[in-house]
Structure 1
Amino acid sequence: MEERVQKAMFDYFRLEGQTAIVTGSGNGIGRATAILLADLGTQVMVCDIEEDSALKVAGEIGKRGGTAIAAKCDVASLEDIRMTVAKTVDSFGSVDILVNNAGGFGGGKTFDKMTYEEWDRLIRINLTGTYMFTNEVVPYMVKKQHGKICMVSSGAALGYDFSDPHYAASKAGMIGLAKELSQELAKHHINVNALGTGLTDTRMAHLPGRSWEDETKGLPWYRVGTPEDQACAIVFLVSEAAEYITGQVLCPNGGAWM
């Protein structure tokens, strides 16, 4: 790559030297996001409920010349969240970027098949976990008067997946939280946005009995989304290139909805 092109790229995103926490980054969209952020010069905390996966991704980043540490973190546990944030700050000094990506899935349950326990579990992971992680990180951003937060929601929150009402509700809550926080935190120069992901080829999306061939027939684009497709959108939203974007929902979905 020409030096001038490389310089323009780094100047455009201005991520070099910043610190990011990416939750659920042991695989899928989180993994792709952590790697891309590190490639662009960000110091990354790779955290996941699967510790081995987090360590593996951090190792991959190191082999690519990037900087990353790893931690086991269950986003439904405030203790785990506090330990992860503390480890990040101890290692890198502060937190500039938070990607709330970790989440659970409903397993294809319709409203009449859901239980109260399943509702509580998914709301706790997807929505309350996002709230708790954000609440623990925001004071560091306020202190710096700078920060970027991305809530990885879903098209299900916008009415494009007609099953798993508890999943849809939890993901819609993330969008509502992002919009409200974007107003509260703007005075501190903290951007808060959300991602309404389309169908993406991740481990969680491969449900037993699910026909991907049927689901992709109507996609205007020619393929299913990849974790890298979503990661590119996330990295843009948490970069300085998106400094004037806040309270928005970006939907990388190959044209599946408008």
Structure 2
Amino acid sequence: MRENTAKATLDFFQLEGQSAIVTGAGNGIGRSVALILAGLGAKVAVCDIEADSAVAVVREIEEKGGTAIACPCNVCLLEDVKKTVEATVNAFGTVDILVNNAGGGGGGKRLEDMTYPEWDRLIQLNLTSAYMFSMEVLPCMRKQKRGKICNVSSGAGIVGDFSDVHYAASKAGMLGMTKEMARELAKDHINVNALGTGLTDTRMSRRRGLEQASKEILWPRVGTPEDQAYSIVFLVSEAAEYLTGQMICPNGGSWM
């Protein structure tokens, strides 16, 4: 029964043999996405600025019988982005799936504390990096007339944030970019969707403090990286073939 269930799952999601790039995959949500994609048969390029973390995730995947490569990458540098895409194509032949997950927080800066360099830094990290990766994988996806892109945004881009205007702006920008890309790429059978993450127990969230923020969650627990990853995997699978320009928000009822 277990083998039949596994086969039915693989057939439904149709990820066997597909090639995926997951940015920020060394920990948190990205790590969970990489592990689940590999478990469903995809070949995964684990991209992270922390090389040791990327290698550790690849080791996890390989120990479970999956296929992956480690791609140390500063997503803010176009040269690194190009190298990551090139390495993926060299290893796996193409790119079928891109998960733009890499990003960072703003450190709790109010408007009066914001500096122009800090604004530029976070917009580059959270938004421009996703644009660069998307542009670099498009030749592969257009050539094969198929592809899936998921941009990992945040509730801050929908309802704002108590601080970090640059973080909220970058995540709202990802939503606008998702919709415009979806419109332009639909003719090429390339799906572009977004995830609006709710509060999730990750390294970045713990730095800001989970206790106060968790009071806004209706569900009786804080979200896990896996909660977000399951929705991302759905969005990049063939199960979501008719879904584009949309956003899913696993947030425990924080906003509706």
TM bin (shorter chain): over 0.9
Aligned position for 1:247? 245
| Structure 2 residue identity aligned to 1:100 | N
Deviations 1:17-42 (A, max 9, x none): 00000000000000000000000000
1:82-97 equivalence runs, <5 A: 82-97=82-97
Counterpart-to-counterpart distance in 2, 1:234 and 1:161: 23
Aligned position for 2:220? 222
Aligned position for 2:43? 43
Question: How many residue pairs end up in the alignment?
Answer: 256
Deviations 1:120-168 (A, max 9, x none): 0001111111111100001100000000000000000001522100001
Pick from 201, 210, 213: which aligns with 2:211?
Answer: 213
Aligned position for 2:181? 181
Counterpart-to-counterpart distance in 1, 2:132 and 2:160: 27
Does the residue aligned with 1:217 lie in a helix, a strand or coil? helix
Aligned position for 2:147? 147
Does the residue aligned with 1:99 lie in a helix, a strand or coil? strand
Counterpart-to-counterpart distance in 1, 2:238 and 2:9: 11
| Structure 1 residue identity aligned to 2:213 | E
Counterpart-to-counterpart distance in 2, 1:37 and 1:230: 13
Aligned position for 1:66? 66
Give the TM-score taking structure 2 as reference length: 0.98
Counterpart-to-counterpart distance in 2, 1:214 and 1:88: 41
Aligned position for 1:238? 236
> CA shift at 1:216, angstroms?
1.7
Give the TM-score taking structure 1 as reference length: 0.97
Identity %: 65
Residue 115 (str. 1) matches residue 111 (str. 2): no
RMSD: 1.0
> CA shift at 1:110, angstroms?
1.0
| Structure 2 residue identity aligned to 1:236 | F
8 A Cα contact 2:160 2:168, kept in partner: no
